[in-house]
Amino acid sequence: MLIPSVMLIASLMGAATAPAQTVAQDAPHAFTISPDYRFTEKSGEALYNATCAGCHMPDGKGAQGAGHYPALADNPAVEAAPYVIVNVLHGRRGMPSFGDAMSDDQVAAVVNYTRTHFGNRFAGSVTPSQVKSLR
């Protein structure tokens, strides 16, 4: 995973030299979270678009290029709510962690959005306290 490690280095360097910022663009690679950044979006949709969409694409279908960004649409792994929460909180290999940049409410909102959009209809809404217990 060449691109994600480059991003990690870029984000560490950015912390020292640039003001806190988030960049989520069409291309999966353009994503940086400074350690002191806090997302202000509240709804799952707004959070998804500000964060996840940059890699997993606005339609949740993922991307395949320099790295592999799995689809969140039609992906049985997304049914397991705690698994999705843990990915968002702690990251997973090429995926950055959002635990420091999002509150429990925000993580719950974006996980619920992911599990109920893009054709996903998984039952069982996650709660902020469930998120808290997985930090």
Which residues contact ligand HEC by CB under 6 A? Answer: 28, 31, 51-52, 54-56, 67, 69-70, 72, 75, 77-78, 84, 87-88, 92-96, 98, 110, 114
- Quote the CA–CA distance of 32 and 3 in Å, as a whole number: 12
User: Quick one: 78 or 108, whose CB is closer to ligand HEC?
Assistant: 78
User: How far is residue 98's CA from residue 33's CA, in Å, rounded to a whole number?
Assistant: 8
Q: Pick the closer one to ligand HEC by CB: 75 or 103.
A: 75
Closest distance to ligand HEC from the beta carbon of 76 (Å): 8
Instruction: Give min distance, CB of 54 to ligand HEC, in A.
Output: 5
Q: How near is the Cβ of 56 to ligand HEC at its closest, in Å?
A: 5
The C-alpha angle with vertex 116 and arms to 115 and 117, in degrees rounded to 5, equals 105
Q: Output 69 or 133, the one with its CB closest to ligand HEC.
A: 69
Nearer to ligand HEC, 19 or 83 (CB): 83
Q: Hey, what are 57's tokens?
A: 């694409």
At residue 98, what are phi and psi to the nearest 5 degrees? -110, 5
> What is the rounded CA–CA span in Å between residue 6 and residue 94?
10
Which of 71, 68, 102 shows the shortest CA–CA distance to 85? 102
